[in-house]
Structure 1
Amino acid sequence: MTSLTTLKGAQERVVRTGGVELCVAELGDPGRPTVVLVHGYPDSKEVWSEVAVRLADRFHVVLYDVRGHGRSTAPKPLRGGFTLAKLTDDFLAVVDAVSPDRPVHLVGHDWGSVQSWEFVTVGRTEGRIASFTSMSGPSLDHFGHWINARVKRPTPRRVGQLLGQGAKSWYVYLLHTPALPELAWRGPLGKRWPRILERIEQVPGDGYPTPSLRSDAANGAWLYRDNVRARLLRPRQDAYAHAPVQLITPLGDAFLSERLYDDLETWAPQLTRRTLPAKHWIPRTRPDQVAAWIAEFVTGVEGGRPEPARATGHHADRFGGQLVLVTGAGSGIGRATAFAFAEAGARVVAVDRDAESASRTAELSRLLGAPSAWAEIVDVSDEQAMEKLAEKVAAEYGVVDVLVNNAGIGLSGSFFATTPDDWRKVLDVNLWGVIHGCRLFGKQMAERGQGGHIVNVASAAAYQPSRALPAYGTSKAAVLMLSECLRAELADRGIGVSAICPGFVNTNITSTARFTGVDAEEERRRRKSTARLYGKRNYPPEKVAQAIMEAVVRNEAVTPVTPEARGAYLMSRYAPGALRRLARVEPRI
Structure 2
Amino acid sequence: MSKEIRRRRVRGDEVDLAVYEQGDPSHPTVLLVHGYPDTHAVWDEVAGRLAARFHVVRYDVRGAGASSRPSGRERYAFAHLMADLRAVLEATAPGREVHLVGHDWGSIQSWEAVCTMPERFASFTSISGPCLDHVAHWTRRNLTRPTPRRLARSAGQALRSWYIYLFQTPLLPELMWRSGLSGPFGRALEIGERVPRRPGHPARTLPRDGAAGVGLYRANMAERLRRPRDRRTDVPTQIIVPTRDLFVSPHLVGAAAGHVPHLSLRPIAAGHWVPRSHPGPVARWITEHATAAAGGTLTPAESRALRRARVRPGRRPFEASLVVVTGAGGGIGRATALAFAERGAEVIAADLDPDTARHTADLAVRLGGAAHPYRIDVADRAAMEEFAATVRKRHGVPDVVVNNAGIGMAGAFLDHSAEDWRRVLDVNLWGVIHGSRLFGAQMAERGEGGHIVNTASAAAYTPSRMLPAYATSKAAVLMLSECLRADLAGQGIGVSAICPGVVDTGITRTATFVGAGPEKQEERRRRAARAYGLRGYGPEGVAERIVAAVREDIALVPVTPEARAGHLGARLSPRLMRLFARIDAG
Is the TM-score greater than 0.5? yes
**Distance apart, 1:62 and its partner CA:** 2.5
Contact 2:31 2:57 in 1 (8 A): yes
- Among residues 224, 249, 258, which one is paired with 1:257 in the alignment? 249
Q: Give runs of aligned pairs for residues 87-98 of structure 1, distance below 5 A.
A: 87-98=81-92
User: Is there any run of 5+ residues in structure 2 with no aligned partner, and where?
Assistant: 297-302
Counterpart pick for 1:170 among 142, 162, 179: 162
Counterpart AA for 1:473: A
Native 8 Å contact 1:458 1:477 kept in 2: yes
Inter-partner Cα distance in structure 2 for 1:60 and 1:361: 43
Q: What is the alpha-carbon distance in structure 1 between the residues aligned to residue 316 and residue 33 of structure 2?
A: 24
CA-to-aligned-CA distance 1:476-512 (integer Å, 9 cap, x gap)? 1233345457768999999865320235778887798
Superposed CA RMSD in Å reads: 5.8
1:45 is matched with 40
Residue 104 in structure 1 maps to residue 104 in structure 2:
no
1:271 to 259, 263, 266: 263
CA contact (8 A) 2:69 2:212 kept: no
Q: How does 1:79-158 map to 2 (within 5 A)?
A: 79-122=73-116, 125-147=117-139
Asked whether 1:22 is paired with 2:3, we answer: no
Equivalent residue letter for 2:19: C
Indicate the SS of the match to 1:120: helix
Distance in 1, Cα, partners of 2:198 & 2:403: 31
Q: Give, in angstroms, the shift of residue 12 of structure 1.
A: 3.0
* Residues 190-229 of structure 1: pairs in structure 2 closer than 5 A: 190-203=182-195, 209-212=201-204, 214=206, 215-229=208-222
Correspondences of 1:67-466 after superposition (within 5 Å): 67-68=61-62, 72-77=66-71, 79-122=73-116, 125-147=117-139, 162-203=154-195, 209-212=201-204, 214=206, 215-236=208-229, 238-291=230-283, 293-303=285-295, 309-310=307-308, 328=326, 405-406=403-404, 408-431=406-429, 434=432, 455-463=453-461
Secondary structure of 1:266's counterpart equals coil
SS for the counterpart of 2:257 is helix
Q: Is the 8 A contact 1:329 1:338 kept in 2?
A: no
Contact 1:74 1:219 in 2 (8 A): no
Length, aligned pairs only: 568
The offset of 1:353, in angstroms, is 10
Structure 2 SS opposite 1:280: coil
Distance 1:139 1:488, change over 3 A: closer
CA distance 1:105–1:433, shift in 2 (3 Å): same
Q: For structure 1, list consecutive stretches of 5 or more residues without a partner in the other structure.
A: 1-6
CA contact (8 A) 2:465 2:582 kept: no
8 Å contact 1:325–1:351 — kept in the other structure? no
Alignment check: 8 A CA contact 2:455 2:497 kept: yes
Q: Contact 2:97–2:121 at 8 Å: present in 1 too? A: yes
Cross-structure match for 1:8: 2
Superposition TM-score, scaled by structure 1 size: 0.71
Cα distance in 2 for residues equivalent to 1:430 and 1:476: 7
- The alignment partner of 1:141 has SS state of helix
Distance in 1 between residues matched to 2:356 and 2:45, nearest whole Å: 33
In the alignment, is the contact (CA less than 8 A) between 1:21 and 1:73 conserved in 2?
yes
Q: Output the CA distance in 2 between the equivalents of 1:206 and 1:528.
A: 67
Matches within 5 A, 1:54-73: 59-60=53-54, 62-68=56-62, 72-73=66-67
> Secondary structure of 2:119's match?
coil
Counterparts of 2:441 and 2:118 in 1: how far apart (Å)?
A: 47
Mapped contact 1:43–1:69 kept (Cα < 8 A): no
Q: Distance in 2 between matches of 1:302 and 1:486?
A: 40
Paired-residue identity, %: 48
Partner of 1:4: none
- Matched residue of 2:414: which SS? coil
Deviations 1:201-251 (A, max 9, x none): 233566672434614433322222332233333333x42224233334333
2:469 is aligned with 1:471: yes
